[in-house]
């Protein structure tokens, strides 16, 4: 019995010691869920890459409701995780109040700027990536009408829409763009049925290429677009493989890189604002075997040229969030 106690005690000490010596990074997924085939899944991909390369381990948490955010952050910070990476704009307010309570912990927030001395804010220039896929949409469209379906109606999604519209207009000034938002509550990220109906509604208005920036709702959009024989554009992760030959391209947002780099930097992650733009490889469009036949040489050349111009600063794509307006409709 005493021997057993000693063993148990030793094991416990070891376990505690291991916990204290190694500060594991942590990753919190937003409401869309870890495997949304989109934004959060990209974050997961980055974490997995880090695990494969370093053999380290990390903690992770999936949000189930709005009310959990503060608790999740505090609990991870108290457990000694460092840095704590969270995906999603919705953490902004909560992080702003939690971060000062744990000055020794580094936080990384993706898609939102939080001005605290121990927070690194990573933002993407979605408008640039959306601009490029907008150009492709305009060039691939035969009807001259293209569609956009957003998830929850928030400035970030309007930023996608605005960049997309600018790209479409750049390639075809006469193009008509049909825009819809799925809803105004977080359930708008997980309503594929409504996504399908929006797709059908846009098709009836003549749209033949539809860009979905809507998390899980986008799955319904891509599905219906494939069923009805029109093209769709995926978002965040490369979604070309979901319906090979039916998805024109995907606007990829390298959330995986953001997570991977933050994990790599570990506790030494640098506070401040990091902008992942086209030049930094933060955004772009996905090309692979699944969409090779859909994208013509001419289309690719035009988009590559525009990308080069954006990087060189010759084309400036308006950012909706800078003034909450969009210059084109």
Partner 1 sequence: MDYATLIQVLDSALRLATPLLLACLAGLFSERGGIFDIGLEGKMLMAGMASGAVAFLTGLVWLGVGAAIGASILFSMIHGLASITFRGNQLISGVALNFLASGMTVLIAQALFRQGGRTPPLTGNARFSPIDLPFAEAMADVPIIGPLYAEVLSGHSTLVYVALLAVPVTWWVLYRTRFGLRLRAVGENPESVDTAGISVVRLRYSALVITGILCGLAGAYMATALQAGFGREMTAGRGYIALAALIFAKWRPWYALGATFLFGFLQALALRPDVIERSFGMAIPVPALDALPYILTVIVLAGFVGKAIPPRAGGQPYVKER
Residue 261 found at the interface with partner 1 (CB under 8 A): no
Q: How far is the CB of 311 from partner 1 (least distance, A)?
A: 34
Does 193 contact partner 1 by CB under 8 A?
Answer: yes
131, 170 contact by CB (below 8 A): yes
Q: Does 219 bind partner 1 (CB under 8 A)?
A: yes
Angle, CA of 180, 207 and 251, to the nearest 5°: 70
Q: Which of 171, 181, 207, 247 binds partner 1 (CB under 8 A)?
A: 181
* Residue 78 φ then ψ, to 5°: -70, -30
d(CA 61, CA 34): 9
Candidates 92, 172, 197, 206; binder of partner 1 (CB under 8 A) is: 197
Is residue 190 a contact residue for partner 1 (CB under 8 A)?
Answer: yes
H or E element, residue 179? strand 176-183
Contact 39, 90 (CB under 8 A): no
Would you say 218 or 284 has its CB closer to partner 1? 218
- Which position has the token pair 């899980």? 216
Of 6 and 205, which CB lies nearer to partner 1 in the complex structure? Answer: 205
The contact pattern for partner 1, residues 54-73, with x = CB under 8 A and - = no contact, is ----------x---------
# chain residues binding partner 1, by CB under 8 A? 30
Q: Is 198 near partner 1 (CB under 8 A)?
A: yes
Q: Assess 183 for contact with partner 1 (CB under 8 A).
A: yes
Question: H helices within the chain, ranges in order?
Answer: 2-21, 39-54, 69-78, 92-98, 126-140, 155-171, 192-204, 217-227, 255-265, 297-312, 320-323
**Binding stretches for partner 1 (CB under 8 A):** 33-37, 41, 64, 178, 180-181, 183-184, 187, 190-194, 196-198, 200-201, 204-205, 216, 219-220, 223, 242
């Amino acid at each position: 019995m005493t021997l057993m106690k000693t063993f148990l005690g030793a094991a416990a000490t070891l376990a505690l010691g291991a916990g204290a010596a190694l500060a594991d990074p942590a990753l919190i997924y937003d409401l869309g869920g870890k495997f949304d085939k989109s934004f959060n899944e990209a974050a997961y991909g980055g974490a997995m890459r880090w695990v494969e390369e370093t053999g380290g381990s990390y903690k992770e948490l999936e949000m189930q409701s709005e009310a959990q955010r503060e608790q999740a952050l505090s609990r991870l910070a108290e457990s000694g995780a460092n840095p704590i990476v969270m995906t999603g704009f919705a953490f902004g307010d909560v992080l702003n109040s939690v971060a000062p309570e744990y000055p020794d912990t580094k936080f990384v927030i993706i898609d939102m700027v939080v001005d605290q001395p121990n927070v690194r804010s990573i933002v993407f220039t979605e408008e640039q990536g959306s601009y490029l896929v907008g150009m492709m949409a305009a060039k691939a469209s035969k009807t001259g009408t293209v569609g956009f379906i957003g998830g929850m109606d928030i400035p970030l999604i309007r930023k996608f829409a605005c960049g997309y519209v600018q790209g479409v207009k750049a390639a075809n000034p006469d193009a008509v763009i049909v825009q819809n938002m799925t809803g105004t509550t977080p359930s708008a990220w997980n309503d594929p049925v409504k996504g399908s109906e929006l797709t059908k509604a846009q098709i009836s208005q003549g749209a033949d290429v539809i860009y979905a920036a809507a998390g899980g709702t986008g799955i319904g959009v891509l599905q219906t677009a494939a069923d009805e024989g029109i093209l769709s554009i995926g978002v965040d992760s490369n979604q070309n493989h979901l319906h090979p030959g039916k998805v024109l391209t995907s606007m990829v947002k390298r959330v995986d890189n953001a997570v991977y780099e933050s994990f790599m930097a570990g506790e030494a992650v640098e506070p401040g604002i990091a902008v992942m733009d086209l030049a930094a490889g933060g955004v772009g469009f996905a090309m692979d075997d699944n969409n090779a036949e859909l994208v013509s040489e001419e289309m690719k050349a035009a988009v590559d040229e525009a990308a080069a111009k954006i990087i060189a600063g010759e084309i400036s794509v308006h950012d909706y969030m800078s003034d909450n307006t969009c210059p084109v409709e």
